[in-house]
Amino acid sequence: MLAPASIAVASVVGREPHSSCKTVPGWLPHELAEECARHEPGPPANALLRIEATFSLTESHEVLLRRAFQDFAGLRAARLFGGANPNVWRIDAAHNDGRACDPFVVKADRRMRITEEIEVVEQFVNEYVPFPNRAPVSLDRCVSGAHERLIVSMFVDRAMRLDEYILSGSPGQVITNLFDVALRTWRANRRMEARQVGKEFGALGIFGRTQLLQAVARNVGATVASPQELVRRLQDLPQQEIALAYGHGDLHPRNIYVRHNTAEVVLIDFPRSGEMTALSRDPATLDVALALYPTRLDSPTRKRVAERLSRDVIRRLYTPPLLPLAVGRIEDPRIEAVRHIRVQVQGDGISEAEYEIAVASYLLRFAERGDVMALRALAYELADRLLNSVSRRG
C-alpha cells in the first residue's frame, strides 16, 4: 500500500535530461498513472537544427530552441535590449529550401513565471485586446524544460518602439489609439469601488523598497520626508471612490510598438495584465516613463540616442496640479505625449487626487530603481511634493 506521501514523477523530453519534473499526490497508483498519461512532453529536440547566435547561448536555452523550432532547418538569434529580462531574443528561422517566415520573439525565464504569463495571455488578453493590437503567441512553440520555459510570439515587424516613434512622429494619434483602441475593452469593463490607491500600488510592489531610498533622500537638496515616512504616508491615505479595471500593468514604452504610417499600436509583454487595479495605473506608468527614463537604447552598446528632458522641464511636469498639463509651450514630442495622456485621464473621470497618488507612486519607483542618482533624487523630491498636495487637498 502506498503511503500518503508525494511521488516525484520525472520524464525526459527530447535531449534535455530531467526536462520535466513535478510532484503529484501518491495515495493511489491509478492517480499516478493518470498523471503520467496526461503529461504532454512537447516536441523533441532537432539535433540537426543550425543555430547562429550573436551571443552565448546556455546549453538549456539551446535545447529549448531546438525543441521550439524543431520544424526548421536553421535559425539566427539576436538579443533584444531595453527590458529587464536579458533573455529576450529575435529569432529568424528558415527551412532547408530557403523559405523564411516572419520573425519570432522568444523570452526565456523560470518555468512557473512563463507558465503564469501564458495563462494571463489566454485568460485576459486574447479575447480582450483586439488582434491587430497584440503580438500573437505561438503556443505550440512555448516549450518547457526542467527549470525554464519559453514564450514565443510573432515579431512586431515594420514597427518602431514607442519612445523612438514619438521622436519622429506626432504622438497624439498614437496615445488615442493606445487607450481608445488597444486598451478599450479592458477600460470599458470598469467598476467603481472605494480603494486606498497608495496601499493598492504598494501591495503590487510598485514602490516600498525603503532601503534603496536612503541614499537617494540624502541627495535631495530640499527638505523632504524620510523614505519610511513617505511610504507610510502613501499607504495611510484615506480611501476614495475610484474606477477599477484590468490593464497592461507595465505600460512602459518598451512594451508598446507603433506601426509605420498608420499609428497603429501593438502591445507586448503581458505578465501583469491579470490584475484588476486602479484605472490610473497604466497612464501614470507611461507618463513617468516618457519623462524620466532614457528615450531609447541602442541595442549592443545601450548608448542613449536622445537627450533626457531637462530637470527644469521634469520639475514643471510634476508640479501640481497635474490635470490638465500646464507647462507652457515646450517643443518636445515627449511633452506632447504626456499632455495627451493627461487629457485621456481627465476624459476617463480620474480625479486630480488619484492621479497625483498614482504618479507619486511611479516617481518613487524611479527613485528606487532609476539609473541616474540626480534624477532619482529629483523624482523623490517630486513624489514628496505631490503627496503634500494630496494631504492639503484632504
Residue 277 confidence (pLDDT) = 95
If pLDDT is split at 50, 70 and 90, which confidence band does 66 have? very high
Residue 14 confidence (pLDDT) = 39
Residue 297 confidence (pLDDT) = 55
CATH of region 50-154, choose from 3.30.200, 3.30.310, 3.10.310, 3.30.1490 = 3.30.200
Integer Cα distance of 137 and 140 in angstroms:
9
Q: Which of 47-51, 154-158, 216-220 has the lowest mean pLDDT?
A: 154-158
If pLDDT is split at 50, 70 and 90, which confidence band does 236 have? very high
The angle, 0 to 180 degrees and rounded to 10, between the axes of the packed helices 373-393 and 352-369 is 160
- 303-336 b/e with 16+ CB inside 10 Å = b? eeeeebbeeebbebbbebebbebebeeeebbbbb
Q: Are 201 and 281 in contact (CB under 8 A)?
A: yes
Q: Is the pLDDT confidence value at 143 over 60?
A: yes
Q: Is the pLDDT confidence value at 17 over 50?
A: no
Chain position carrying cell 498614437: 174
Q: Is the pLDDT confidence value at 98 over 70?
A: yes
CATH of region 159-393, choose from 3.30.1490, 1.10.10, 3.90.1200, 2.40.30 = 3.90.1200
Q: Is the pLDDT confidence value at 322 over 90?
A: yes
Residue 174 confidence (pLDDT) = 95
Q: Are 186 and 128 in contact (CB under 8 A)?
A: yes
Q: Where do the structural domains in the chain lie, given as residue ranges?
A: 6-38, 50-154, 159-393
* Beta bridge mates, 160: 258
Q: Is the pLDDT confidence value at 323 over 70?
A: yes
If pLDDT is split at 50, 70 and 90, which confidence band does 194 have? very high
- Maximum CA pair distance of the chain? 80
Integer Cα distance of 91 and 19 in angstroms:
22
Residue 293 grid coordinates: 527614463
Residue 379 confidence (pLDDT) = 97
What count of residues does the chain have?
Answer: 394
Strands (DSSP E) along 290-332, which ranges?
none
- Per-residue pLDDT of 242-288, as tens digits, reads 999 999 999 999 999 999 788 999 999 999 999 999 999 999 999 99
Residue 3 confidence (pLDDT) = 41
Measured CA to CA in angstroms, residue 270 lies from 124, 134, 165, 251, 257 at distances of 9, 10, 21, 9, 14
Residue 16 confidence (pLDDT) = 41
DSSP state of 179: I
Measured CA to CA in angstroms, residue 46 lies from 16, 67, 103, 143 at distances of 11, 6, 19, 13
DSSP state of 6: E
Nearest to 286 by CA among 321, 247, 313, 331: 247
Residue 82 confidence (pLDDT) = 67
Residue 26 confidence (pLDDT) = 47
In this prediction, residues 353-375 reach a mean pLDDT of 96
* Beta bridge mates, 106: 89, 152
DSSP line for 317-354: HTSSP-SS--------HHHHHHHHHHHHHHHTT--HHH
Proportion of the chain above pLDDT 70, given as a percent: 87
Residue 18 confidence (pLDDT) = 42
- Per-residue pLDDT of 300-316, as tens digits, reads 555 555 678 999 999 99
Measured in whole angstroms, how far is the alpha carbon of residue 384 from the centre of its chain?
A: 26
Integer Cα distance of 245 and 216 in angstroms:
33
What average pLDDT does the chain have?
88
CB-hemisphere CA count at 13 Å for 394?
0
If pLDDT is split at 50, 70 and 90, which confidence band does 7 have? very low
Q: Is the pLDDT confidence value at 347 over 50?
A: yes
In this prediction, residues 47-69 reach a mean pLDDT of 96
DSSP line for 121-159: IIIIITTTS-GGGBPPB-GGG--B-SSEEEEEEE---SE
> How much is the pTM?
0.85
Q: Is the pLDDT confidence value at 336 over 50?
A: yes
Q: Are 335 and 324 in contact (CB under 8 A)?
A: no
DSSP line for 245-268: EE--S---GGGEEEETTT--EEE-
* Beta bridge mates, 240: 195
